[in-house]
Amino acid sequence: MRVAEARPPGAEDVWRLISAARGDLGGSPSAEDVAAAVVRLLRSRPPTDIAAFDWPFEELLAASYRADLWAAACIINDGASDDVFDYFRGWLVAQGREWFERALADPDSLATHPEVIAAVAGVGDLYGEDVLCVVMDAYRAVTGEDVPRTSDPVRIPDLDPDWNFDYNDEAEMRRRLPRLMALHDGEEER
């Protein structure tokens, strides 16, 4: 009888991990709480298993490196530098697969997310900086070392040139992200 080789984790495994972390927390947890729960879950695994999650997490973050999402983050967080956009993408991963995929399919759909509604109303920004480091934090907690790099880094895609415009151009933002801009302008019911 042949023993099956262990398959490296992929996006499905990351989503199961995020779902388990969110489930452990209940309610509407913050991105920071989700990150801490993911670290706790990963710390229960052997170091090689923890390190194997680095690539699929990076792939999800690369998939969300999109100009249309950056424009959405600018509306939601009232501006988005490179770092703020990274933190926003960490927040988006912490929301789970359904919201992540919905936002990738239509960034304007974020106008219905309760935390987005609150953020646009001025009740804080949507940052998930801690989510960007869950694998590194878990690996360090278990080994005291950095995650070893065993492959080339995930390639960040080029931004869509059709979205290469000034995100301060409110008319263009209204045309492209009408629901988020209506929320921003106070036209949507909160």
For all residues of the chain together, what is the average pLDDT? 89
Determine, yes or no, domain membership for 5. no
* pTM, to two decimals: 0.90
Query: Which are the contacts of 115, defined by CB distance < 8 A and separation ≥ 6?
Result: 28, 91, 95, 126
Instruction: Tokens for 75, please give them.
Output: 């509306």
First-to-last CA distance in the chain?
60
Determine, yes or no, domain membership for 156. no
d(CA 167, CA 174): 10
> Which tops the pLDDT comparison, 162 or 1?
162
Determine, yes or no, domain membership for 83. yes
Asked if 80 contacts 180 with a C-beta cutoff of 8 angstroms, the reply is no
Predicted confidence (pLDDT) at residue 89 exceeds the cutoff of 90: yes
Determine, yes or no, domain membership for 120. yes
> Which tops the pLDDT comparison, 13 or 5?
13
Mean pLDDT of 7-34: 90
Confidence of residue 187 (pLDDT cuts 50, 70, 90): low
d(CA 127, CA 155): 23
Determine, yes or no, domain membership for 166. yes
Structural domain for 55, as ranges: 11-15+27-147+161-184
Determine, yes or no, domain membership for 154. no
Confidence of residue 5 (pLDDT cuts 50, 70, 90): very low
d(CA 153, CA 143): 22
d(CA 56, CA 165): 31
Predicted confidence (pLDDT) at residue 188 exceeds the cutoff of 70: no
Confidence of residue 107 (pLDDT cuts 50, 70, 90): very high
> Which tops the pLDDT comparison, 82 or 151?
82
Asked if 98 contacts 58 with a C-beta cutoff of 8 angstroms, the reply is no
112-130 pLDDT tens trace: 999 999 998 887 889 999 9
Determine, yes or no, domain membership for 3. no
Number of domains in the chain: 1
- Residue 170's identity, in one-letter code, is E
Predicted confidence (pLDDT) at residue 190 exceeds the cutoff of 60: no
Predicted confidence (pLDDT) at residue 4 exceeds the cutoff of 60: no
